Structure 1
Amino acid sequence: MNILKKHGLKETKTRIEILELLEKETLLNAEQIFERLQDSKVKISSIYRNLATFTDENILIRTVGLDNISYYQLNTDDHVHQIVCEECGKVDIVDHGPLMEIERDIEEKTGFTITSHSFEFSGLCEECAKHNHK
């Protein structure tokens, strides 16, 4: 994968599988990645180690949710956030709105390169809201 070469990282089967998975699905935690890659016999320790490397290299963005779990996504212009149901734990993706503009504005005004942040919405999903209003 070009992204690994660009960052001077060795191309391993595990690294390629993690990145390919995160190209298809976004905001996954280490356990979810482990579950999806079980056919590959990847060890959970290897997943954690590679996620840390990818985050350090700014390949991935790590977001810590209200549940104190780290979620990962590729560091692209398609950065998304999540909304979590407080009752059932359902997670949906928020991939629209001015959030990216705010992030770029902060980077421009501070000179920082944002590598991680925590921004999560919570509330009740449609099903739980219906259930609570009965």
Structure 2
Amino acid sequence: AGRRPRRAPCPPVAAATVAAPETEAPASVGETAVLGDEELARSLQRRRQELDSQARGRRFRVCTQLGFLNVHTDPGDPYNSGNVVGRLYEGEIVTGLEQRGDWLRHDRGGWSIRFHGGFEWLRPVEEEGGSVS
């Protein structure tokens, strides 16, 4: 009574390459691109919207190192226990609603850290045919 069913462990994460956002005049090798404050703000806003759209409606599998992942009322410090409203367990599936930095707001009533300490706690679920949802 009260025991959670055992679920298959999360598979290892494949290495990923993240492309830097394109600028109007890319820097040459050995040069550093300098963005003005307004251009940087626009670039960050575009990236945030891109991340939000990628997370919205996407399903994620919970992968843990300690058996559970906390659900918080808001993103911030993953070690803050004062705003914990629930727990997610290994292998559970959540649907993303919004992403803010390394945090994902999901359909289980709050925010959980997606990436922390070199570990991916919420991994996109691959659909049949190998494509990510």
The TM-score bracket by the shorter chain reads under 0.3
Identify which of structures 1 and 2 has the higher relative contact order when contacts are C-alpha pairs closer than 8 Å and 6+ apart: 2
Q: Compute the TM-score of the two structures, normalised by the length of structure 1.
A: 0.23
Higher helix share: 1
